[in-house]
Amino acid sequence: MADASTTLSASRKNTWFQRNRMTVTPWIFLAPAILFFVVYVIAPIFQSIWISFFEWDGLGEAEWVGLGNYVELLDDDRFYTSLINNVWWLVLFMLAVPAGLAVALFLNQTVTGMRIYKSMFFFPFVISQVVVGLIFTWFYNPNFGVVGIIWEFFGAAPPAILADEDLVTFGIIFAGLWPQIAYCMILYLTGLNNVSADQIEAGRLDGAKGWKMLWYVVIPQLKPATFIAVVVTVIGALRSFDMIAIMTQGGPYGSSNVLAYYMYETALSEYGFRMGYGSAIATVLFLIMLIYISYFLYRMYQDEKGGR
Amino acid sequence: MFHKTKVAVAAFAASTILASAALSADLVINFDDPNPGPKKGFEDAVAKFSAENPDINVIVNINDREAHKTAIRNFLSADAPDVTSWYPGNRMGPFVDAGLFEDVSDLWEEQGFGETLSAIKPTMTRDGKQWGVPYTYYQWGIYYRKDIFDNLGIEEPTTWDELLAASAKLKENGVTPFTIGTKFLWTAAGVFDYLNLRTNGYDVHNALTAGEIKYTDPRIKATFEKWQELVEPGYFIENHATMSWQDAVAPFANGEAAMYVMGNFSVDAYKNAGLTYDQIDYFQFPEITPGLPRAEEAPADAFFIPSGAKNKEDARKFLAFVARPDVQTEWNATIGQLPINSEATAGDDKFIQEGFATVSTAAGLAQFYDRDAPAEMAKAGMEGFQEFMIKPDRLDKILERLDKIQARVYK
């Protein structure tokens, strides 16, 4: 028996691979994912940054214009409108986090049929964004939509939300919040499952209840869920595209554009095909995202280190 | 995604084709309209072509119009069909410049298209050569509710003042004069084009879309002043920015609005919305500047041969075929539009007849703002038109922005 194990371990140390098994194995498992990530994510990032230095219609010769596209961006009203709208999206989309928490807390009870209610609340996240966009377009229709009916009930003339340059972005964000709240809710619901009952009990004994219990005992334990909810919401806000494409196509006259849609419009839509300019917009959007993403990655890394 | 139909001339072919199967060549045609009428017109023509040319095996791909607009960029360079439908004017520009379309000037020469298709020749021409063959076009103008006009005792207006008077009378009686849906922008360009063609004429339209005159030019401003006379009193329906052109048919059908500046393809939509031929009628956009030669919008659709086509010989046969008077007569009778070949006859539908009278006597034919102007300018321009219709007081700012874009696009 002892003999057998010594020979086995001896043969294990024989080849390089066997000696370095622990280090190599993870990389082998990661390799396919890394390969695809590099080909489909990393490479296109650099490719589109490269294209942004050209004037190119996607068909003919690309013409090197250096930073020309970026200079043009600085003087483009549509770009600033899109940028400001992106900020609105970022700020207001954050409401999905507390709203999701509130719904999750409300649903975190043991009542018969709770699962049905939970799934109903989760429903908007499951249906396609395109459908959400269409439904809200009808809601907002001043002639036959719900909004029109409510306004008329109070005797006011209903606003054409999607045709009003001041309201349109908020109208779309509100529609976008509906599925996003459901998403945050489900993140918090799973988080709430892991809240330790002991600590709640201990908190009770120490006389904490209501807001204090929530703030000092429950929410700190939900930190991982909050972290993920914030990350997905930030990214969701920055890549808000489907809703705008469905509800307004960036209109009226570009006032509900965001960077993601503006990029699509200039580079790929019917009147676009300015690949270079679109890529320049994409690069700006990427840089904005990069700030958030690297901050969150840094935080995550720090947390991991602290956790070990 | 592609809807494939193999048009085999079954019964008749069975005997003959078997013998000549070895000689038969494939001819791949990409077409861009799956709506019942246009699809039937196209398929009938293909069937006729196959019957006449039993040695050619025609393969047809019919794609949705919007999808076609995106797909064409890929299939022209990657896997080119032998014939594809596309649009003349600036819309064919990028493909011609990139060398993706075949020069068919020889075909025009040989078939004498310079005579028979002369109406559309200028827009099929780029760099002095012809790049495709048009098979249909249609008129634009004002479609109106005849029953409402009759009720209120309004005649078809022929001058700008009469149009304003008619509008005022409609408005007084609780009917919005014009319906329009500007969500997809191009409908506003139709209105702009007509106001511009009637205020300044065909040459100014061409000069503007060719980037030769500025948007802040006093002549263009005059066009917007006329438009203002319709926008200011609320002669267009509200909330038009939320509606597509199809959505805007609803107020027209239920009598909330009485006029619609549109192309003839919209007649089908009126009928589907429950209006009868007695209720709808057509008149030419009224004269604004007296004595100005009358030019019309008449966008054409055409067939092109990609330069990567494998069977260019048969593709040329097909292009010659679609230009033939008898083919254009039948085809356009099916789809309810106008044949381009001057030897073809227009259908006997009342709108086709009126359209034919309108277009054949016009001093000039414009394609459409978004086909005559380069894509980027067209997009910005049409956004500007929409913005003007909602915030007319921003006119100066809009025109300055358009000048800025114009300076860049046409550099």
Share of chain B above pLDDT 70, in %: 94
Q: Which residues of B touch A (CB under 8 A)?
A: 66, 69-70, 73, 77, 94-95, 97-98, 100, 182-185, 238-242, 370, 375-376, 378-379, 383-384, 386-387, 390-391, 401, 404, 408
Peptide bond into B299 cis (omega under 30): no
Q: Which domains does chain A have, with CATH numbers?
A: 2-51 (no CATH), 73-307 (1.10.3720.10)
Dist CA A24 CA A290 (whole Å): 30
Q: Name residues of chain A where pLDDT drops below 50.
A: 1-2
Peptide bond into A252 cis (omega under 30): yes
Please list every residue in chain B whose beta carbon sits closer than 8 Å to the beta carbon of residue A167.
Answer: none
Interface test with B, best of A168, A271, A275 (most B CBs within 10 A): A271
Three-state SS at B167:
helix
Three-state SS at B17:
helix
Q: In this complex, which of A251, A265, A268 lies closest to B241 when CB atoms are compared?
A: A251
Question: A301 vs chain B: nearest CA distance in angstroms?
Answer: 43
Q: In this complex, which of B66, B242, B379 lies closest to A141 when CB atoms are compared?
A: B242
Please list every residue in chain A whose beta carbon sits closer than 8 Å to the beta carbon of residue B390.
Answer: 163, 165, 252-253
Kindly report which listed range (B109-123, B170-184, B221-235) carries the lowest average pLDDT score: B109-123
pLDDT at position B157? 95
Dist CA B387 CA A174 (whole Å): 24
Please list every residue in chain A whose beta carbon sits closer than 8 Å to the beta carbon of residue B70.
Answer: 268
pLDDT at position B70? 82
Interchain contact, A253 vs B384, CB within 8 Å: yes
Interchain contact, A273 vs B375, CB within 8 Å: yes
* Beta strand spans in A184-283 (E): none
Residue B216 has pLDDT above 90, yes or no: yes
pLDDT at position B14? 40
Q: In this complex, which of A58, A59, A271 lies closest to B379 when CB atoms are compared?
A: A271
Residue B376 has pLDDT above 90, yes or no: no
Please list every residue in chain A whose beta carbon sits closer than 8 Å to the beta carbon of residue B97.
Answer: 59-60
A142 to chain B, any CB pair closer than 8 A? The answer is yes
Question: What's the pTM value of the predicted model, to 2 decimals?
Answer: 0.81
Give A19's Cβ-side CA count (13 Å radius): 5
Three-state SS at B257:
strand
- The residue with greater pLDDT, B65 or B186, is B186
pLDDT at position B1? 38
Kindly report which listed range (B12-21, B120-129, B349-358) carries the lowest average pLDDT score: B12-21
Q: How confident is the model at residue B201 (pLDDT cuts 50, 70, 90)?
A: very high
Tokens read off for A31: 């390799």
* Cβ contact B258:B145 at 8 Å: yes
Tokens read off for A69: 């596209």
B347-355 average pLDDT score: 88
pLDDT at position A10? 52
A77 to chain B, any CB pair closer than 8 A? The answer is yes
Q: In this complex, which of A59, A160, A253 lies closest to B239 when CB atoms are compared?
A: A160
Of B130, B153, B86, B45, residue with least CA distance to B371: B86
Of B179, B240, B243, B190, residue with least CA distance to B378: B190
Residue B86 has pLDDT above 90, yes or no: yes
Interchain contact, B375 vs A142, CB within 8 Å: no
* Cβ contact A136:A142 at 8 Å: no
Please list every residue in chain A whose beta carbon sits closer than 8 Å to the beta carbon of residue B182.
Answer: 252
If you measure CA to CA, which chain A residue comes closest to B90? A271
If you measure CA to CA, which chain A residue comes closest to B91? A271
Please report how the helices A114-126 and A96-107 are oriented relative to each other, as an axis angle in degrees rounded to 10: 160
User: In whole numbers, what is the pLDDT of chain B averaged over residues?
Assistant: 88
pLDDT at position A12? 54
